[in-house]
Every structure is written in structure tokens, then in C-alpha cells.
């Protein structure tokens, strides 16, 4: 089964649809479409709402189509098989974490996970090899050999980031601003932030293009 990544915001119409499209772009660019599924939902979503027009316009400029997007509520979803939840705020993260025992270890605010993978050097080539099981794990009895699937790599990155969480203190607020109701300039600022941070997370989760 493919690995499942769920991107979460409030209403699932502005931030999370765009972030999910950007992350899926990294998946597709690495040829991992059959191995990773990226979707989005909202903690207070009204099902069926379309994406915010500004998010649709920005996505289109970047080659993604959100015109058919329909909002989903987290309450409608079976979260038991989700490998990673990427939330836009700490509040979103905590609300989703509370829905299922043990899910909290797989729930991160996007900026939090980006900070953690940097702090734990999970985007470095050598450490990424260990995370993906192609180095030390391959030498352990019963350990994973090189060439593990991306699902195993995602699980290892999530586990390593969660273990590093108590030892890495944020410098400040790690919430992504909600641009809904704001002008296009705010949407563009948020979109650029999402693109930059998702690139860091994608390299950790999926490997660089040479690793994919």
C-alpha cells in the first residue's frame, strides 16, 4: 500500500490544498506517484467547499490544478493508516493528534518538521542514507537492506524527527499564517513560505532526485 501523507489546515480551502499540491509535485517529480498519496483536510471544514480563488490562481501559475478541489473534514477520515500529518499550525497538529491514540508521534506542524529535519540533519546525504536503511540498518541482524521503499524512509524520518522533538526548541511561533480574507500579496507570501519549507521536508522524506 502507498504511504499516506495528510496536510491539514482549518477549512481546507486556502493553505492545505495548495501545500498538498506542492508536496505532491515533489512526489510526482521523483516518480513516486504509485508509492505516496498526498491529500488534505480541515479541522473545521465544510465538506464540498471549493479552494480559495487566490490559492487556485497561485497553484495554476505553478502548474497545479485546484479547480476541482472540494474541502474535506478530518472528522470524516480514517486516520489509522496515515503515515504523516503535516499541519499548518500547532493547534491543528494537536487537534488531529487527539483523534487517535498514538497518532501524535506522526503529527507535526509543517514548520516544526522542517526545523526538526534540519536540526537532526535528516536532509544530509549521509544521514539520509541511514534514515532510508541503506547504511547502518543494512548491517544490523534482521536490518533493512539498501533499496527500501519510500514508505520505509518516511517512517524512519518521522520516527527520527519525533525522537528529536524534545531536544529541539523552536525559536518562536511556527504557525503558517491563514491568508483567507486577505489580499493576494499575503497569499503569495504564504505560498512562497510553503514552497520553501516543503522542499526541505520533501528532500528528507523522499530523498533528493538522485536518491529517488
Q: Which three cell numbers stand for residue 57?
A: 490562481
- Give yes or no for a contact between 92 and 9, defined as CB atoms under 8 angstroms apart: yes
CA distances from residue 89 to 35, 46, 69, 207, 211 in whole angstroms, order as listed: 27, 19, 21, 25, 30
- 41: which DSSP letter? E
Picking from 86, 43, 71, the residue whose alpha carbon sits closest to that of residue 175 is 86
**pLDDT in the model for residue 147:** 52
**pLDDT in the model for residue 144:** 36
- If pLDDT is split at 50, 70 and 90, which confidence band does 209 have? low
* More confident call, 85 vs 122: 85
**pLDDT in the model for residue 170:** 82
Q: What is the pTM of this model?
A: 0.88
- If pLDDT is split at 50, 70 and 90, which confidence band does 51 have? very high
- If pLDDT is split at 50, 70 and 90, which confidence band does 135 have? very low
What are the extents of the domains in the chain? 3-115+173-206
Picking from 139, 137, 177, the residue whose alpha carbon sits closest to that of residue 156 is 137
d(CA 26, CA 24): 5
For the domain with range 3-115+173-206, which CATH number is right: 3.40.50.2300, 3.40.1190.10, 3.40.50.1220, 3.10.20.30?
3.40.50.2300
Q: Which three cell numbers stand for residue 122?
A: 535528516
- If pLDDT is split at 50, 70 and 90, which confidence band does 103 have? very high
**pLDDT in the model for residue 172:** 81
Amino acid at each position: 500500500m502507498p504511504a499516506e501523507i495528510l496536510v491539514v489546515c482549518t477549512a481546507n480551502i486556502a493553505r492545505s490544498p495548495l501545500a498538498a499540491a506542492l508536496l505532491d509535485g515533489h512526489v510526482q517529480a521523483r516518480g513516486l506517484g504509485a508509492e505516496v498519496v498526498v491529500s488534505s483536510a480541515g479541522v473545521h471544514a465544510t465538506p464540498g467547499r471549493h479552494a480559495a480563488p487566490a490559492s487556485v490562481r497561485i497553484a495554476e501559475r505553478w502548474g497545479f490544478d485546484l479547480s476541482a478541489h472540494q474541502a474535506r473534514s478530518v472528522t470524516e477520515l480514517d486516520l489509522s493508516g496515515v503515515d504523516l500529518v503535516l499541519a499548518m499550525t500547532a493547534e491543528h497538529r494537536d487537534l488531529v493528534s487527539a483523534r487517535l491514540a498514538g497518532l501524535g508521534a506522526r503529527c507535526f506542524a509543517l514548520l516544526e518538521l522542517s526545523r526538526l529535519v534540519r536540526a537532526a540533519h535528516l536532509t544530509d546525504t549521509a544521514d539520509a542514507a541511514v534514515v532510508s536503511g541503506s547504511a547502518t540498518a543494512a548491517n544490523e541482524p534482521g536490518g533493512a537492506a539498501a533499496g527500501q521503499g519510500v514508505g520505509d524512509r518516511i517512517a524512519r524520518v518521522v520516527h527520527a524527527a519525533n525522537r528529536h522533538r524534545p531536544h529541539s526548541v523552536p525559536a518562536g511561533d511556527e504557525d503558517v499564517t491563514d491568508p483567507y480574507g486577505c489580499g493576494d500579496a499575503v497569499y503569495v507570501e504564504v505560498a512562497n513560505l510553503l514552497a520553501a519549507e516543503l522542499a526541505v521536508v520533501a528532500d528528507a522524506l523522499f530523498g533528493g532526485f538522485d536518491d529517488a
